[in-house]
Structure 1
Amino acid sequence: MLVVDLEVHGDGRGWFKENWQRAKMTAAGLPDFGPVQHSVAYNGSRGVTRGVHAEPWDKFVSIVHGRAFGAWVDLREGPTFGAVHTEQLDEGTAVFVPRGVGNSYQVLEDDTVYSYLVNDHWRPDAAYTMLNLADEKAGIPWPIPLAEATLSEKDQAHPPLRDVVPVTAPRTLVIGRSGQVGQALAEFFPEADFVGRGELDLADPESVASFDLSRYAVVINAAAHTAVDAAETPDGRRDAWAVNASAVARLAEAAREHGALLIHYSTDYVFDGTGGSGVDRAYREDDPIAPLGVYGQSKAAGEAAVRSVPRHYLLRTSWVVGEGTNFVATMRSLARRGVSPTVIDDQVGRLTPAREIARATRHLVDAAAPFGTYHVTGGGAARSWYDIAREVFSANGRDGEDVVAVSTEEYAAGRGPTAPRPALSTLDTARIESVGFHPHPVDVLDL
Structure 2
Amino acid sequence: MDTGSIAWGVTATALVLFMTPGVAFFYGGLVKAKSVVSMMMMSFGALGLISVLWILYGSNMSAVGSPLEFAGNPFSDFGMTALASGETANTDLVGATYGATFAIITIALISGAIADRAKFGSWMIFAGLFATIAYFPIAAWVWGGGWIMNLGTTLFGEDAGIGVIDYAGGTAVHINAGAAALALALVLGKRIGFQKGITKPHNVPLTLLGAAILWFGWFGFNAGAEWLNELANVGLIVVNTVGATAAAIIGWIVVEKFKDGKATSVGAASGAVAGLVAITPACANLTPGWALLLGIVAGAVCAIAVELKFKLGFDDSLDVVGIHLVGGLIGTLYLGFFATETGLFVGGGIEQLAVQAIAAFAVLIYSFIVAFVIGFAIEKTIGFRVKNEDEIAGVDTSVHGEEGYALVD
TM-score (norm 1): 0.23
Structure with greater strand share of residues: 1
Bigger radius of gyration: 1
Q: Whose relative contact order is higher, 1 or 2, with alpha carbons under 8 Å and at least 6 apart?
A: 2
Q: By percentage of residues, which structure has more helix?
A: 2
TM-score relative to the length of structure 2:
0.25
